[in-house]
A and B are shown apart, each in its own frame.
Chain A
């Protein structure tokens, strides 16, 4: 019945909740903001979605590119 280990789901849920709490908004808003930041950056430079990551810690927001040469 349970083919997918539930820990994967738990990790995704807690990550979304924690980031939303840190930003004082809903997980949807965080997702929207992340998309908007990505789109804004893409206007000026070529970034693939899989190389873009927005990390929100308790005190900082980090924007990371992993696809740079």
Chain B
């Protein structure tokens, strides 16, 4: 039986879709059969971030309305071992699907896939309710900004109310330089407020923009964000990978250590 993980945030534009794509790819590269589902009806994006926008024939709503079989709607991403995308519908709205229908769809997929990742729309309305309906656990994405943390707190409350208690946090787009000079909340500041387990921290990295421009992942690339996503996938798979301390300035000792390790 597969595990169902919803990637959610409350606030828009904090990196849910990029996170879904990169974790999906990472888990697939680790040898799992993965399906990523875009649940944002009317505003589909996951296909674009993954560079699969020209391959859509059928979508999530077509499957639910019985216009096609699941196999016809799933797009296989041939760049990776066993990775599939179920795209959202661009011309429907959030009322065309109910939480019960989502639950049924996901329970069918659970038979066949190791991981089912749900990219949740922003907001706390029906789109959110649909996305979390069949989820076993949640990844809450936030940036270290006031509005984003506030929304994440509400989302965690709503997840708990809906019986989803395995909730983990990703802090995205952390500006290490700003944290060090006291102009951005640190990892500790954010986790102290939200009080859930930390799954990972993704430093702000222009490689994410470059990769997204091209419809490519950052995971597997030799850049800070790529490595952070790699570590997140390893943690999801049960390995213990420490989270680097981003708040402390690099001391003389660590600089020396770098010098030695280069040799």
Contact = CB atoms under 8 A, between A and B. Distances in A.
Interface string A1-39: 010011110110111011001100000000000000000
B154 interface: yes
Contact of A6 (B154, B160, B182, B195): B182
Interface in B185-208: 185-186, 189, 193, 195
B14 to A, nearest CB: 15
Nearest to B181: A5
A51 interface: no
Interface in B137-153: 145-146, 149-150, 153
B156 interface: yes
Nearest to B186: A7
A13 B193 CA distance: 11
A7 B160 contact: no
Contact of B153 (A2, A7, A21): A21
Nearest to B150: A17
Nearest to A5: B182
B246 to A, nearest CB: 14
Nearest to A6: B183
A57 interface: yes
A58 B182 contact: no
Nearest to A2: B183
A57 B149 contact: no
Contacts of B185: 7, 10-11, 14
A14 B183 contact: no
A58 B157 contact: yes
A19 B131 CA distance: 26
B184 interface: yes
Interface string B110-154: 000000000000000000000000000000000001100110011
A58 B145 CA distance: 20
Given A7-B182, A7-B185, A58 B153 contact: yes
A interface SS class: helix
Q: Bin chain A's interface residue count.
A: 10 to 19
B181 A10 contact: no
A21 B146 CA distance: 13
A68 B194 CA distance: 28
A5 B189 CA distance: 14
B193 A15 contact: yes
A11 B150 contact: no
A17 to B, nearest CB: 5
A18 B160 contact: no
B181 A18 contact: no
Contacts of A10: 145-146, 185
Contacts of A66: none
20 contacts: A5-B181, A5-B182, A6-B182, A7-B179, A7-B182, A7-B186, A7-B189, A10-B146, A10-B185, A11-B185, A11-B189, A11-B193, A13-B146, A14-B146, A17-B146, A18-B150, A18-B153, A22-B157, A58-B160, A58-B195
Given A6-B183, A59-B160, 4 more contacts: A7-B183, A17-B150, A18-B150, A22-B153
